[in-house]
Structure 1
């Protein structure tokens, strides 16, 4: 199928894009990499009256380390994956990006597009939640920042209002004691994950501190495993028994839905395994 007819706008600044969003409201959709929106338009699942193409906005393509890692919403996923700054400062982001689709998808898809799309199984929302990243959202009143834990609100739903634009993401530079890892299970490489797990912690004198464990594919948004996080605080994650209990606690409160890809009981069981695996990878450098 082909998309329904639409009007097209190509702003060259964030302010111009925000102005267009204000003017057209819910009738407009933002086009970045198009890897999610275009297939939905072709299938008539999305029928915007106006398409606002943000690919000519240079400020959205900034990727820099300046008091933290800042990734503009328009940065291509492949650019972030191959960035020396990302690999040096927060390599777990590159680790997660390797699981996103295939080479062609990463070459067009953007970091901000995946985050704003908010698919519950997507890698980037999950890793940003684990890293306690901050999203920058711009509207007519200026910029505001939203913590990842408040940004994702449901299936394909975020804190971005109809007249606002996600313009970037900021991740604090991890200290020397930081450890992190990302793992997922999918039917085939490049498929959306059935379940994913991201772990971030500090390892101080053999004990875990500032633990964050995020899971994807188990709810209507990426979620934190609060009980597992609390259990791990002050304990040695090198201990297999500790990791086993953390995995059990992470899965205990989950109630994943069943679908054509996997039953909820399977997702719940896999969640425990992936949390253990991610912890092992993080602290053992695997």
Structure 2
């Protein structure tokens, strides 16, 4: 099936993008096209105007400012994966390596993954785990949204129709915090992800799950000290906390009881890895 007829615009400046989004009819943003193009060909979406942001240089920049890495929304996943500074964020590098395949990462963008809001996507999960945020722009100005406030439902965000992601901000992990990334596939397009970050200075354990609820979800456990208590106790606490984050929603790939068992197994692996050195 071919897409329904639409107008196509390829701006080169952010203000042109914002102006185009004020179009009266339905407008869609094209970044890498990994999500939008299949929807267009299946006619799940019928925009009157498609705005291609692939040639907006400002949205293709990556910069470190203070304690954060700012990634333009049109930066591809492969460009971020191969960025020189990714070694300082190995948990993000681990997540990127799990996204599709190299050809899809060459096209898929960081902003596109964040905005598409797939509940099992890797980049939104890392963004939440690191307490990141997105910086939005529109003709009315700019605003920032914390990752924990960004997602409202499966494939839904709090972005307004006239807003576009300018930058995705990933806070740089502290050197003493060790992170791990665990992902289990149970069907071709079904996966469970658990990210664990152990902070020995404050004896806290940050846990984030994706693919087991309608949005990525996180919880932080206090008083986690594997040196003073057995690892089994720490893993049991983490397992119970993550299982409580699992939501019972319609899933054609498996019942909620199976997702809970996968989350439990992935959590134990992630916690063990993070407490023993992790991905970073």
TM-score by length of 2: 0.92
Contact 2:213 2:245 in 1 (8 A): no
Aligned with 2:178: secondary structure? strand
Q: Give the equivalent residue in structure 1 for 2:18.
A: 18
**Cα offset, 1:237, TM superposition:** 4.3
Change (3 A) 1:248 1:219: same
* 1:250 matches 2:250: no
Unmatched runs of 5 consecutive residues or more in structure 1: none
Contact 1:186 1:193 in 2 (8 A): yes
**Cα offset, 1:42, TM superposition:** 0.7
Q: Give the equivalent residue in structure 2 for 1:234.
A: 223
Give CA-to-partner distance per residue, 1:138-162, whole Å, 9 cap, x none: 1112211110000111111112110
**Larger helix fraction of residues:** 1
* 1:213 matches 2:202: no
**Cα offset, 1:34, TM superposition:** 0.3
Matches of residues 96-115 of structure 1 in structure 2 within 5 Å? 96-115=95-114
Contact 1:251 1:268 in 2 (8 A): yes
Give CA-to-partner distance per residue, 1:33-54, whole Å, 9 cap, x none: 0001101111111111110000
Matches of residues 271-282 of structure 1 in structure 2 within 5 Å? 271-282=263-274
Q: Give the equivalent residue in structure 1 for 2:69.
A: 69
Change (3 A) 1:253 1:11: closer
Number of aligned residue pairs: give it.
Answer: 274
RMSD: 1.6
Distance 1:237 1:268 in 2: 24
Change (3 A) 1:192 1:115: farther
Give CA-to-partner distance per residue, 1:226-257, whole Å, 9 cap, x none: 3xx23xx1222461321122112210352332
Farther off after superposition, 134-143 or 112-121: 134-143
Give CA-to-partner distance per residue, 1:82-123, whole Å, 9 cap, x none: 112122x21111100111111111000000000000011111
Distance 1:53 1:24 in 2: 17
Aligned with 1:220: secondary structure? coil
Unmatched runs of 5 consecutive residues or more in structure 2: none
Distance 2:268 2:124 in 1: 20
* 1:261 matches 2:253: yes
Q: Give the equivalent residue in structure 2 for 1:46.
A: 45
* 1:202 matches 2:199: yes
TM-score by length of 1: 0.91
Q: Give the equivalent residue in structure 1 for 2:156.
A: 157
